[in-house]
Structure 1
């Protein structure tokens, strides 16, 4: 364990210090921006932090490093914990259990919420580390005892500011800003490597049941067991149901996807990958909603300042539905382009609380079952409105559906129990359609208008009839499928055009490469260079495009180049070579003519070039000297005294007969990217290598986030082609360039199949399970 700590601690410390310095550097600018548009009285809380940072930054830096080291020392001490006497349950007094202060509770809720979100990046590795280390350290009871747990790292932020009288609001501002810089994926990579280097073993879970299956090892009851038994007894006495949860029944008989066994997991995955949950069973965990949802914590569903002698009165679900309908009627129906405000979950809950009567005689309360469902929906929408895969405009529209979805959940428990509920399917479809939203063109975008029309239809027409969602779902899916077919055709045309362009570029490069290899360094008559560069290169180019390098047509075209060069390189005093030239020249001329005709080369120019070749051949046979030029590439283009070297294109198009040397162009493909590179084994390089066509990427290199879809991958050139949602090409880049963008945080992969309800439920119920564990 100590070796593991010695390996990991300096790595995490260096990473944390880097992020913390960036946090302190960016904090004044962030706070000044946050001050814009808020009342002067509220601005002072932000400005006080800037003043504190200016005067105490060195102390803060020193304190945070000391606190970090202290967390690691506490972790290392788990290897030798002090011997303590356990306290029997019977000796515990309820008077000894103190209440946490409201400010501390609020701050803990923020840390729990942010930590839960960060854990999505690290949950698997941290769980693995906890299991492996807890097998070696019996004193390690909880994952958040690990010094690299996000909750521990987040706690360091308010603690490092010391006793400076910061309010809960100020500490919350600091925490949320720091959390935007903290990327747990980098930390878990260090943890994984350290576990392997330190050779921390994977524990083997021992069976708790003996060979005789009728015997199970008994355990001492603990406080949690006692409290759970008390809770179950109270539920039985209050509700008349059985303590094991089997007393209730569902008269509809329509729940076919949810396992209602009380011993089954609270959150279940269906055969199609969907997420279902029974909200009735959440009563066991209702107390934890405030710890996973900031909105539930800040706005409880009960009136404030209740009069001491007021009589509590529960409002029926039907009356609650009537009041929610009144709130639904005042939801904005203006386009997002006009009003982009996103109704927060806390604001919606405040509206609900505001409708509860509270005077000296009566205080209205919402029933526990209805409260649990509203809390679940609130926590779910907290996740949805914080989901980075949803564009801002989409969040603004979905945020307006909070009241209708609350009504759906209260009216029909199938909303959570089955993934096929029409309201749930419709919300998922709207979120999926909004992934590639072009924010800049939303006012004129027909998809945006259709989503907006659907949302407004729900707000104006939904009362209690679920048939509306069935109708809207069918209508929207038909529209979206037609859109997808049209966009798929555009994507296909873009892909084919780009592949043709890439193949043409590759063919030009390959042809020039062959000519450079055959001609460089030789001294040949200008007629040969002119024929190859002006005419025969087209024969090679079309042969490559049509059949590729492995085809017989390509090999024959290259052989003609070899034969032509051979015929222009006489062997002095070799009668046999001369006799062979007399035999080959007519055949070679005929092959050249046929090749030029096959590519529809200009007949007049073709005749002129072939006459020049025949003239040179005749001069060679007659023993006459023919003027020649030296052939170089761009890399050899070093001008010598008195020697004027020009490009081959200038030479073949000009009439100057005194050219003594020509320069051939380079044959390599133009590299799209000239910046930083990563090793082939890098995880981002591998991720880009396996990226599928159709994936959405969000780029943040500019001031505005932009989302592009990968529509083509040109593997021969390692080039990627991107288009917007309407199928219009917007960018191209190399695979390495995209990998670097990923590594620098300027690009991220967007989930293009966002089953938003499933992901929200998984996050909410997963958070509850972690807290109760």
Structure 2
């Protein structure tokens, strides 16, 4: 009877709910009674199997997004899975049963914590293909499920390799931004140290904090603060402050030449570099480029490390709870999964802490495909955890179908008035 139902195409009118396992049981029973009379009934073990499958599917459905392609695939798998479960009760107790393996792969492709960008379209396409083949070919031979699982696992391994490559690139880019931010802060600190309370003209300060800061940032990034190049640049910074703060100081043409060459190394055009150098060395009073024109050019120019070094507004001191969360996240290993709450609807997204800087507290989060989905400071992350907006995923590492099966057993034990034992396996 189930075999005859398996060959029928699924037809659902717009707005009609999906078929359930209970619907499938009723359809099977109706066919039995049409063929064998109104008194025909399912054997008790088959009734039990349908009840278990019905509860299991309900629990799986709670963990799969309603709009995910997996929902349609789960519906198409109902008849082959029911046939497999009725034929082999090992389906319920064997965690690695072939039919159960495929059920898990399909369900996890649409898990509730996956976002739209998390699902791999190639995996979804492969799942659609193998489910269709199972529906067409399954007739009691478990090898059909085994072959389907092999195809899915091959696609998942390929997806994992791509995710690892993507994640490595994201981590390398984050480390580069972190180094750039450190170099930018080092450059700013060097300028402040050279000024030491002195106040050159406001326009000169702007040139120091923008154009010349780019020079110092690149020098720190390429050579480090212990290099001769860095010492040369900081000495030039001190000389710029000396020349521009003392109206009686003689113009320094050698300094101007040095400044111009350094600015051209960080990408300034020849005329811009020359104009800035003349201002910072006071080597020429009759400016070729006006202050207004030079200011406009600087505003239009992207500064080196500006985004990487951007800081948020100072936050109030952490509370005791926030500090405890901060200490926790500082000790977490790379690769820890978090769940973030989105809005008031209770929607969550699972993201992986791929990398963080122990120096700047900058943290990178990726999704299951290794794509960057968020960046937070560890301080902000700790505050979100304390507010209940983020949590470390510490639940068991079991698969979705196994969690659904344990939930099924808990429900049955609750109906029977039995205490809940510690889960030790998939079987009852």
In the superposition, the TM-score normalised over structure 2's length comes to 0.68
The answer to whether the 8 Å contact 1:495/1:712 transfers is yes
Partner of 1:424: 100
Closer/same/farther in 2, CA of residues 737 and 351 from structure 1, 3 Å limit: farther
1:556-592 Cα shifts (integer Å, max 9, x gaps): 53343234434666799xxxxx9xx99xx79867865
Partner of 1:759: 403
State whether structure 2 residue 322 is matched by structure 1 residue 680: yes
The answer to whether the 8 Å contact 1:507/1:544 transfers is yes
Partner of 1:462: 138
- 1:427-576 alignment runs, 5 A limit: 427-435=103-111, 438=115, 445-519=121-195, 521-524=197-200, 529=205, 532-533=208-209, 535-548=211-224, 553-566=229-242
CA distance in 2, matches of 1:738, 1:651: 43
Closer/same/farther in 2, CA of residues 469 and 361 from structure 1, 3 Å limit: closer
Closer/same/farther in 2, CA of residues 537 and 441 from structure 1, 3 Å limit: closer
How many residue pairs get aligned? The number is: 398
Partner of 2:300: none
Partner of 1:671: 312
Closer/same/farther in 2, CA of residues 459 and 441 from structure 1, 3 Å limit: same
Greater Rg over alpha carbons, structure = 1
State whether structure 2 residue 3 is matched by structure 1 residue 325: yes
Partner of 2:418: 772
CA distance in 2, matches of 1:724, 1:360: 54
SS, match of residue 322 in structure 2:
coil
CA distance in 2, matches of 1:491, 1:396: 31
1:701 alignment partner, one of 318, 343, 354: 343
CA distance in 2, matches of 1:675, 1:401: 54
| Cα deviation, residue 736, structure 1 | 5.3
The answer to whether the 8 Å contact 2:106/2:127 transfers is yes
SS, match of residue 39 in structure 2:
strand
SS, match of residue 536 in structure 1:
helix
Closer/same/farther in 2, CA of residues 530 and 355 from structure 1, 3 Å limit: closer
The answer to whether the 8 Å contact 1:356/1:364 transfers is yes
| Cα deviation, residue 464, structure 1 | 0.6
- Larger RCO (CA within 8 A; separation ≥ 6): 2
Gaps of 5+ in 1: 1-322, 573-577, 619-625, 627-648, 655-664
CA distance in 1, matches of 2:66, 2:81: 18
| Cα deviation, residue 542, structure 1 | 0.7
| Cα deviation, residue 450, structure 1 | 2.6
The answer to whether the 8 Å contact 1:710/1:720 transfers is no
1:333-357 Cα shifts (integer Å, max 9, x gaps): 78x9x78844334333333443453
1:32-89 Cα shifts (integer Å, max 9, x gaps): xxxxxxxxxxxxxxxxxxxxxxxxxxxxxxxxxxxxxxxxxxxxxxxxxxxxxxxxxx
Partner of 1:97: none
Partner of 2:23: 347
Tell me whether 675-684 or 372-381 shows the greater mean CA deviation: 675-684
Partner of 2:302: none
CA distance in 2, matches of 1:513, 1:684: 27
Closer/same/farther in 2, CA of residues 339 and 599 from structure 1, 3 Å limit: same
SS, match of residue 765 in structure 1:
helix
Partner of 2:88: 412
CA distance in 1, matches of 2:314, 2:2: 56
1:479-523 Cα shifts (integer Å, max 9, x gaps): 232233334434443444444345435543443343245337424
| Cα deviation, residue 474, structure 1 | 1.4
1:281-305 Cα shifts (integer Å, max 9, x gaps): xxxxxxxxxxxxxxxxxxxxxxxxx
CA distance in 2, matches of 1:712, 1:764: 34
1:651-690 Cα shifts (integer Å, max 9, x gaps): 9638xxxxxxxxxx9x973328989976433559846974
The answer to whether the 8 Å contact 1:432/1:754 transfers is no
Closer/same/farther in 2, CA of residues 719 and 524 from structure 1, 3 Å limit: closer
Closer/same/farther in 2, CA of residues 370 and 668 from structure 1, 3 Å limit: closer
Partner of 1:191: none
CA distance in 2, matches of 1:668, 1:534: 13
Closer/same/farther in 2, CA of residues 539 and 372 from structure 1, 3 Å limit: same
Partner of 1:653: 295
1:163-200 Cα shifts (integer Å, max 9, x gaps): xxxxxxxxxxxxxxxxxxxxxxxxxxxxxxxxxxxxxx
| Cα deviation, residue 405, structure 1 | 1.8
CA distance in 1, matches of 2:36, 2:199: 109
CA distance in 2, matches of 1:687, 1:498: 18
CA distance in 2, matches of 1:515, 1:440: 44
CA distance in 2, matches of 1:673, 1:602: 36
Gaps of 5+ in 2: 286-290, 297-305, 420-428
CA distance in 2, matches of 1:569, 1:365: 100
In the superposition, the TM-score normalised over structure 1's length comes to 0.42
CA distance in 2, matches of 1:526, 1:683: 44
